[in-house]
Copies of this chain bind each other. A is one copy, B any other.
Amino acid sequence: MALNPQYEDIGKGFVQQYYALFDNPVQRANVINFYSTTDSFMTFEGLQIQGAPKIMEKLSSLTFQKITRVITAVDSQPMFDGGVLINVLGRLQTDEDQPHAYIQTFVLKPVGASFFVQHDIFRLSLHDV
- B residues in contact with A105, CB < 8 Å: 85, 87, 105
Q: Label chain A's interface by main secondary structure.
A: strand
Q: How far is the CA of A73 from the CA of B79 in the complex (A)?
A: 24
Q: How far is the CA of A80 from the CA of B110 in the complex (A)?
A: 13
Q: How far is the CA of A60 from the CA of B113 in the complex (A)?
A: 40
Q: Closest B residue to A41 by CB, please name it.
A: B77
Given contacts A43-B75, A48-B77, A70-B127, 16 further A-B contacts (CB under 8 A): A39-B80, A41-B78, A43-B87, A46-B73, A72-B126, A73-B123, A79-B118, A85-B107, A85-B119, A85-B121, A87-B103, A87-B105, A89-B127, A91-B127, A103-B103, A125-B125
List chain A positions with a Cβ less than 8 A from chain B. Answer: 39, 41, 43, 46, 48, 70, 72-73, 75, 77-81, 85, 87, 89, 91, 101, 103, 105, 107, 118-119, 121, 123, 125-128
